[in-house]
Structure 1
Amino acid sequence: MGFATTDDGEEIYFQAHGTSGPILVFVSGYFGVDNIWQPLITKLRSQYRCIAYDSRGYGRSSKPTSPDNYSIPRHAADLRAVLQACNITDRVVLVTHSMGCNIATAYYLAHPDHVAGIIYSAAYFDGEHIKKFFPMEVLTSGVDSPSQCVAFYANMGLDESTAIEAAKWPAYIRRNNAKALLGFKLGDQYSGIKVPGLVIHGEADSAAPEELVTPIVQAMPSCKLEILKGVRHFPPTEAPEEMERLIREFVSNLS
């Protein structure tokens, strides 16, 4: 465990597990903490190097107040700082969730030689496309009330204990990240992703309907779609066994 210092002087808390094998880097979504990845990391760290971190604004990482300190490219730069702090020089597999999928895409577009493959879960195309399902007023509803924040996450399928953890942090952070999420546009840039991709999507995901996912699969040159029956917006916690199996299969096919 440790702290990575970003190029704008903030600190990002990270944990690194394992000493050998392919490198898996776990990128969280809008709620920012690494908690959803811990059950998977427990299963994977004996055979893979696993890195997870708290996004800026959340958990043990710095919490700058200005909205200018939050954007998808800014989060991608924070990811770069974490990998540098871990002395990672080999290519990595990015394992992502929700907004973390856009962060990973932005990271790849900035550093294509650093990435071996991308696993998206609960993905959506970009902020421009998700606005009609989650406009700003919906995405930030209840941010001032911890109980409403917990309900917001729980209604999408997150377990209560993780939802409570995600609701701890100041309301301004959720507003700033909502603005970052909705303001990010990718246009036709998925077609430029040359590494293999895998989209893992919950059949019952109302937060990111399948119509926001299939364009990703269609646009990327090498990408597959796996639909998990009965799963909503949190495949890593709702279906960890399936996630583990799919991660292992994906990584083994890279070699």
Structure 2
Amino acid sequence: MSRRPIPADCLQPVPAEELAVRSADGTRLHVEVHGQPGAPTVVLAHGWTCTTHFWAPVIHRLADRYRVVVYDQRGHGRSEIPSSRVRYSTRALAEDLAAVLTRVVPEGERAVLAGHSMGGMTIMAGSARPEVAERTAAAVLISTGPSDLLAEVRIVPDAVRPPGLRRFLHRQVLRSRLPLGPVGPVSRAGLKYAIMGADAPAERTEVAVRMAHACPTGVRANWARVLDRLDVRPGLARLAAPTAVVVGAEDRLTPPVHAHRMVAALADPQGLLLLPGVGHMAPIERPAEVAAEIDRMATAHLPARHAAADSDADLPAAVTADPERTAVA
């Protein structure tokens, strides 16, 4: 079966630099540096079953004014697959982020951190670590949640009763070790329903579907176990940096209820951006708005030397931090 075309902005950009970073337990992490050497730094952490490729549309929109760092979460992409199940944990996520920041953000400097889904959970899990806290100027939490994920997932319809049965079914789906196999009509339709907005373009859906299929089955299942029992609320409460929250109105995996809870718990909330018609994969579905939100936080909280008079053509105008905003579809 022929593969669908990929949008130009979703094609992986060639990094200016590639690094191998060792985490605290020795796990090797693949790190890429894009954009402008010497510019303020933005660090992007992807989510479950994704890779650095996930951030391509955002990198293309930020690389003309920032030094953009992305890395493969352990087990994903070109990072090392952990040798045992005990190396899958929120502590490991936090240690990985600390190792990456220590390598790419010199002591005394800071960066804007943005995390999608498990990447946002990574930021929350690592927020109190000195290597993270001292290097974080601001944060953007995208399509994520701090706890009770299975209680809020909306893949199985609410009509299925009782709620405990829905939770059981969600757990079986997310923890499945069944290989996804080749991308086909059934898997494409199923994954679009679960992770994309109903009106997401087919070519952008294809990008997300291919990444999910490429994730090793054991890695997918082991991280699902971590997400099943996730609770990073203490880290969310300790996240002292100014923090913005972004969520798709049609997100079935981390619905907007999580975004509202995070804003209420943050020490320094900088607004909630709700994206109409968008599912869980906001940086792929609506990269311009996501990039603009990261740029807004960088403009406000990083040194002004990043500004460039002619570099804003592909970003919507920055806005002030309202308690809640809805992006125009």
Both structures adopt the same fold (TM-score exceeding 0.5):
yes
Q: Write the distance in 1 (CA, Å) between the matches of 2:98 and 2:38.
A: 20
**Distance 1:61-1:210 versus aligned 2 partners, 3 A rule:** same
Q: Decide whether the 8 Å contact of 2:175 with 2:222 is kept in 1.
A: no
| Cα drift, residue 84 of structure 1 | 2.9
From 243, 261, 277, the counterpart of 1:230: 277
SS of equivalent to 2:240: coil
**In 1, distance between residues paired with 2:24 and 2:233?**
27
Q: Please tell me whether the aligned partners of residues 125 and 216 of structure 1 are also in contact (alpha carbons under 8 angstroms).
A: yes
| Matching residue of 1:139 | 174
**Aligned AA (2:238):** G
Q: Equivalent residues in 2 for 1:41-56 (5 A)? A: 41-56=59-74
Q: Percent same amino acid among aligned pairs?
A: 26
2:85 aligns with 67
Is 1:247 the counterpart of 2:294? The answer is yes
* Partner SS, residue 56 of structure 1: coil
Question: What's the offset of the Cα at 1:236?
Answer: 0.5
Alignment of 1:104 onto 2:151: no
Task: For 1:92-131, list aligned pairs within 5 A.
Answer: 92-111=111-130, 112-126=133-147, 129-131=148-150
Give the Cα–Cα distance (whole angstroms) in 1 for the partners of residues 188 and 96 of structure 2: 26
The partner residue of 1:85 within 75, 90, 103 is 103
Q: 1:4-47 CA deviation, whole Å, 9 max, x = no partner? A: 12222221111012212221100011113111211211221121
Paired residue type of 2:210: I
Aligned mates of 1:55, 1:143 — CA distance in 2:
21
1:226-255 alpha-carbon deviations (Å, 9 max, x no partner): 101111111101001111221111211114
Q: What amino acid maps onto 2:136 in structure 1?
A: V
Where structure 2 has 5 or more consecutive residues not aligned to the other structure, the ranges are 1-17, 154-169, 197-203, 303-329
Indicate the structure (1 or 2) with the bigger Cα radius of gyration. 2
Query: Structure 1 CA distance, aligned partners of 2:296 and 2:287?
Result: 14
How far apart are residue 108 of structure 1 and its match? 1.4
Aligned to 1:3: 20
Q: Distance in 1 between matches of 2:296 and 2:53?
A: 23
CA RMSD of the aligned region, Å? 2.0
- Specify the alignment match of 2:241 in structure 1: 195
Residues 89 and 226 in structure 2, CA contact (< 8 A), matched pair in contact too = yes
Pair 1:30–1:143, CA change in 2 (3 A): farther
- Counterpart for residue 20 of structure 1: 38
CA distance in 1, matches of 2:245, 2:224: 23
Q: What is the aligned residue count?
A: 253
TM-score (normalised: structure 2) = 0.71
When residues 116 and 2 of structure 1 are mapped into structure 2, their CA distance, relative to the original with a 3 A threshold, is same
Residue 75 to residue 222, structure 1, CA distance change in 2 (3 Å): same
Contact kept? 2:50, 2:215, Cα under 8 Å: no
Task: Give the aligned residue type for 1:165.
Answer: M
- 2:218 maps to 172
With structure 1 as the length reference, what TM-score do the two structures score?
0.91
